[in-house]
Amino acid sequence: DAKTTQPPSMDCAEGRAANLPCNHSTISGNEYVYWYRQIHSQGPQYIIHGLKNNETNEMASLIITEDRKSSTLILPHATLRDTAVYYCIARRGNQGGKLIFGQGTELSVKP
């Protein structure tokens, strides 16, 4: 699986959009980009994933650059409950089934 790089921490004002970047410059053509988050004292929670196209669901939007070397997770209206560690993971959809976590970005949403 391709290595991903994320900033260790970010702040965001409540009600504003939180834009979390992820670099995956060595991603291969069949690797998806997955985002999970872990709120303190809980297990990680799936947010969204994508291959090439931008994706949106009820939680977030995922913007993947045309060359697929980077992506951005967007929380459109961050709330205090979005304070968590966000993990960007690049992996093949059909090999091994393992999910390997990097260090993630600790997002602090402030009032």
Partner 1 sequence: SAVISQKPSRDICQRGTSLTIQCQVDSQVTMMFWYRQQPGQSLTLIATANQGSEATYESGFVIDKFPISRPNLTFSTLTVSNMSPEDSSIYLCSVGTGGLWGYGYTFGSGTRLTVV
Question: Cβ closer to partner 1: 14 or 55?
Answer: 55
Task: Report the phi/psi class of residue 64: left, alpha or beta, with left for phi > 0 and alpha for psi in -120 to 50.
Answer: beta
Residue 7 touches partner 1, criterion: CB under 8 A: no
Write out the two tokens for 85.
């560690």
Tokens 């009600």 -> residue:
15
CB of 65 to partner 1, least distance (A): 20
By CB neighbour count within 10 A (0-12 exposed, 13-18 middle, 19+ buried), where does 61 fall? Answer: middle
Count the site residues for partner 1 by CB under 8 A.
Answer: 27
Residue 44 touches partner 1, criterion: CB under 8 A: yes
Q: Could you say which of 17, 76, 95, 110 contacts partner 1 (CB under 8 A)?
A: 95
Number of neighbouring beta carbons within 10 Å of residue 56: 13
Binding stretches for partner 1 (CB under 8 A): 32, 34, 36, 38, 41-46, 49, 85, 87, 91-104
